[in-house]
Structure 1
Amino acid sequence: MKHLLLVESNESIAGIQACKEMGYTVTLLTQNIQHYLKGQPLESHPLRLVDYIHEVDTFNEEAVVDFVKAYHQANPLTGVMSFAEFYVVQATAAAHAIGVPTMQPLAAKNARNKYKSREICVQSGVPVPRSLLAGSIEEACRHAHSMGYPCIVKPCDGAMSIGVVFVNNERELRQAYDSYVNNRNFGRNLYGSTDVLIEEYAAGPLVSVEMVTYQGQDHLIGITDRRLVGFPYFVETGASFPVRLSHEAEIVEVVRRGLHALGVDFGPTHTEVALTPEGPKIIEFNPRMVGGPVPEMIKYATGIDLPREVLRMHMGEAPELTPSVSRGAASREFCSPVDGRLIEVTGLKELEGRADILRSHFIAAGREVSFPRSNFDWIGRVMVGGDDAEQAEQKCSEIQNTIGLHIAARPIS
């Protein structure tokens, strides 16, 4: 039986469930199993599906590699990977160390480091926003002064839009910098680097290009558009797939050039691109499959079960990336306009029984909510299917107008 080792998991455990459905033996490497169990007994938790669980410092690349090399000797592994953003580099290094299918470790590491990926793109003539690296507030202020306001403050190794802020002047820059450096907790006891980018603001719509690289070929899965709210923060609150753009070929070519410059030679990638008046500019690379609702949207729209195909290629099998249907899907995430407490969500009953509602989920009443500052601040999500992405997006807009968020605002101190 094929044996897969996963370095951590997403909260949904969907990847683990897919592994078991595909007949794989699964070992989970985790820093702390209680992160998932939260006090619940293992035998009644979805993680009971896992065959073996070992606790290791999963944020430590050397510790993960050493464990996997020794473990592989006693329990031969077919594949090693991670679906979780902050563990892709460690999983890639471990997979490479035992010779199972994976991306080149340096490519994964450079893709995760936003400044290093910028440097490589500039050297290769791939369009990116101008960026300067700052290790202190003094350096950040100097860079912003030389670049000119407005600009973007962005963590060098972040995710989920945490710490990404548009600033108009030095006062706002200092506030954004201090807020990030003093609150750079990404969850799971992970803390980001104090290094930040001071970056040119790339004005224009944001899209993401979903690709899979296999046996030297870059396969385009499709392009996802993005809706953003929370300015001066950049919080994603909607997406549709697959979007059709008149200059799609140019966008995809820019992404391919960027991936090749980084040395990406295997696996899924999720690349965000700003469509600026000067042309497409790469905002960031992610050496992993797109997350959130998009894999489910891709499956509905194309028939491609992307998580399963990614698993298969990491297990030495050829992925099936040919669409079997042609439809569209869209999602809408709901956020609070203020910090406060959720009293009630109205309008959900109208969604019941609708065959085109792919998923609908909202947090429970009584929970604390906040103005959107990162992608952790969603209250709920609705995902809809349609004949194409445009129709699905229109349905989402109509649904958004029927959903009511009743929130008790927190008094301003």
Structure 2
Amino acid sequence: MARRALILVETKSKGLGPLYVKAAQHLGLHPILLSADPGQYDYLATESAEAIGVDSNDLNALISECSKLCATHDIAGITAAGDLFYATIGKLCRHFNLPGPNPASVERCCDKFTQRKLLAEAGVPTPAYRLATDAKEVQSFAAEIGLPVIVKPAVGTGSRGVRLCRSLEELVDHTKYLLSGEHVWRSAPRILVEEFAQGPYYCAELIGDKVVEIAAGDSGSPPYFVFRKTIVPAPLSDGDHHHMTDVSLSCLRALGLGWGPTCIEFRWTNRGPVVIEVNPRLGGVPDPQLFQLAYGVDIVTEHIKLAIGEECDLRRKHSHAAAARYLVADRDGILERIDGDRLAAAVPGVAEVEWYIKPNAPIVRKGDLRDIIGYVIAASPSHAQTEAILQRAVDLIDLSITPFDPS
């Protein structure tokens, strides 16, 4: 009998990749990663996963490789963790008659200008926005909306190139950065100029058309947005939770989503919940771990079950308060050592201490999610207790960073 396999396309190592491999294996599936550079995924050896080199930007090459695998494996499903290749996943699934996302809907969603336009046309509350293609338009639209404004690429992930511009000088500097060639564009340079929606940050995690839960977070100090913490569940009243759920479902309808995972980011302003971004994917780590700690729901496993044509189960097993603190360096330099992380991991209630960086590695802050070098997560019966556990654990961790030699 042919071995049942789950095909993963470019499922990154920093975060979700190992979770998808372990979940697939737990379901009795053999995970096979297709990647242009399998060597970049250091988790493959430890997880005993198979990898095949293929041009992941070439749909025909991916179809050809999957067709070869069909001769020796029973391909149960094809998926990915992030949104970079999620439209491609949808096309592969349609070619092989497998469950998957609507590729056209994903492509519309990943273009932030198109997403903004569709949401606004459907009456979903969003920030005021304009699309610019040069520096002159950026300044004109910023004046029209009114400073401060958010300036960001129309296509991108991980907060790369996203900045709050509070003055004309900051606006000019950031526009110059985006258009000078320093920023790596995934498509033709187009810049979104948006109203700065001020208020607490929330994120709704959905599977299909069901809101699994809403998390609260701290996205860091402007002008950049680097997460500092996440809390599950968000401390919302029943009425506010229902309101955000209704807006989330309106987003799905407006964008033609509703299969598989969706992650919707909000700011709660004086207008209520305003949609900052809709992502056609799961939230990044440690969101899946937090949902599992809080409710006993493994959303990675449930996503895979949908991808292989099985019914997912989102029923809660328990109700706890889970939270994460993200570890971010306070300076650039060489990370000489990490002290106290084992003591932090041993604090009762701490579930995980994870690092993305090792001693003797250089740290160069970018002002985006790449600045996160690790995290600590914990859970307990109450928010207050979980916060106390995290604070105790984080206080035990000390990073020794030597500034770069100016020479």
**TM-score relative to the length of structure 1:** 0.88
- 2:205 corresponds to 1:200: no
Please say if residues 336 and 372 of structure 1, whose CA atoms lie closer than 8 Å, have aligned partners that are also in contact.
no
Q: How far did residue 392 of structure 1 move?
A: 1.6
1:224 and 2:226 correspond: no
- Equivalent position of 2:296 in the other structure: 303
Deviations 1:106-135 (A, max 9, x none): 211122111111000111000111111122
Structure 2 CA distance, aligned partners of 1:77 and 1:197? Answer: 40
Q: Pick from 307, 310, 313 the counterpart of residue 306 of structure 2.
A: 313
CA RMSD of aligned residues (A): 2.5
Q: Greater CA deviation, 115-124 or 373-382? A: 373-382
Which residue of structure 1 lines up, in the alignment, with residue 9 of structure 2? Answer: 7
Displacement of 1:248? 0.9
Q: Any idea what the Cα deviations from partners look like across 1:343-368, whole Å, max 9, x if unmatched?
A: 34444354253331111134333322
3-state SS in 2 of match to 1:86? coil
Cα 1:123/1:23, change in 2 over 3 Å:
same
What is the letter of the counterpart of residue 287 of structure 1?
A: P
| 1:195-222 CA-partner distances (Å, limit 9, x unpaired) | 2211110001111001111xxxx22211
The AA in structure 2 aligned to 1:22 is L
3-state DSSP of counterpart to 2:88: helix
Change (3 A) 1:352 1:317: closer
Segment of structure 1 superposing worse, 372-381 or 320-329? 372-381
Instruction: Tell whether 2:379 aligns with 1:381.
Output: no
2-side partners of 1:194 and 1:136: how far apart? 9
Do residues 281 (structure 1) and 274 (structure 2) align? Answer: yes
- In the alignment, is residue 23 of structure 1 matched against residue 24 of structure 2? no
Question: 1:37, 1:400 → 2: CA distance?
Answer: 27
> 1:169-210 CA distances to partner (integer Å, 9 max, x unpaired)?
33212321232342334xxxx845522211110001111001
Question: Residues 298 and 37 of structure 1: is their aligned pair in 2 closer, same or farther, counting only changes over 3 Å?
Answer: closer
Structure 1 segment 99-114 matched on structure 2, within 5 A: 99-114=97-112
- Aligned pairs, number: 398
Mean CA deviation greater in 340-349 or 8-17: 340-349
Between 349-358 and 196-205, the greater mean CA deviation after superposition:
349-358
Q: Deviations over 1:140-163 (max 9, x none)?
A: 222222222110011222111111
Whether the 8 Å CA contact 1:326–1:388 is kept in 2: the answer is: no
Matched position secondary structure for 1:3 = strand
Instruction: Give the unaligned 5+ runs of structure 2.
Output: none
Question: For residues 5-154 of structure 1, what are the structure 2 equivalents within 5 Å?
Answer: 5-11=7-13, 12-36=17-41, 45-46=45-46, 48-50=48-50, 53-61=51-59, 63-65=61-63, 68=66, 77-154=75-152
Distance, in Å, in 1 between the alignment partners of 2:72 and 2:381 is 51
Q: Give the TM-score normalised by the residue count of structure 2.
A: 0.90
Paired with 1:105 and 1:25, the residues of 2 have a C-alpha distance of 25
Structure 1 residues 108 and 56, CA gap change in structure 2 (3 angstroms): same
